[in-house]
Amino acid sequence: MAKRRAKRSAEWAGRQARDPYVRRARATGFRSRAAFKLVQIDQKDRLVQAGDAVVDLGAAPGGWSQYVAARVGSQGIVVAVDRLEFPPITGVTRIIGDFTAADIALDVKAALGQRPANLVISDLAPNITGVSSIDQAGCALLARAAHDFALSVLTTQGTLVVKLFEGVEGQTVRQEVAHRFARCVVRKPDASRSGSREFYLVARGPRPLG
């Protein structure tokens, strides 16, 4: 068991050392290589404008929040929530807690003030077990919660970016999201490792219920 763990962590260290996005994150000051996934989705889909109000769900260590804070500028709002502590980011309101808890969701909405959100981004991930069916289900559960939260805060032109894992659960959530938004596309940015089962939905324009 200990041997297998040591082998896995040596493999991880080797992958990190070879990864160009890890090097770029260090060089540019991003806290995570994940930041480049959002950069690349934004380059394709023009997600964020100066002055926007943005909610980042599952924000730690903060790469996505760093990027959107720079893009929205001083007239914008970025509210970042994670159940793990992470260091402050200039221009970002941090909320530490589980966003599926009612009091934390209320704190996030209060931090937006009276403004609806232009963009909700979710890179939420469960603790990975390595068992594909469990990880897929955990990610789908979080993605559904992110979707429901987004519907409660987005403007009628607003956008949701949400991570899913490939598989039956992921496809079911994809259909649910596509049903509730005017447009929904799948993105697999170059910075997302090809061996990873993750992909992202970019969903625009929540539809009214009915």
Mind telling me the catalytic residues?
A: 163
Query: Which one of residues 21, 99, 165, 181 is an interface residue with ligand SAM (CB under 6 A)?
Result: 99
Query: Which one of residues 6, 50, 84, 110 is an interface residue with ligand SAM (CB under 6 A)?
Result: 84
3-class state of residue 78 by DSSP: strand
| CA 152, chain centre distance (Å) | 17
Site string for ligand SAM, 137-176 (x = CB under 6 A): -----x----------------------------------
Query: Which one of residues 55, 61, 146, 160 is an interface residue with ligand SAM (CB under 6 A)?
Result: 61
| Amino acid letter, 73 | G
| CA 39, chain centre distance (Å) | 12
Strand 92-96 vs strand 77-82: parallel, antiparallel, or unpaired? parallel
Residue 196's CB: how many other CB atoms inside 10 A?
10
CB of 49 to ligand SAM, least distance (A): 20
| CA 151, chain centre distance (Å) | 15
Q: Which residues of the chain form contacts with ligand SAM (CB under 6 A)?
A: 31-32, 34-35, 58-64, 81-84, 98-100, 123-125, 142
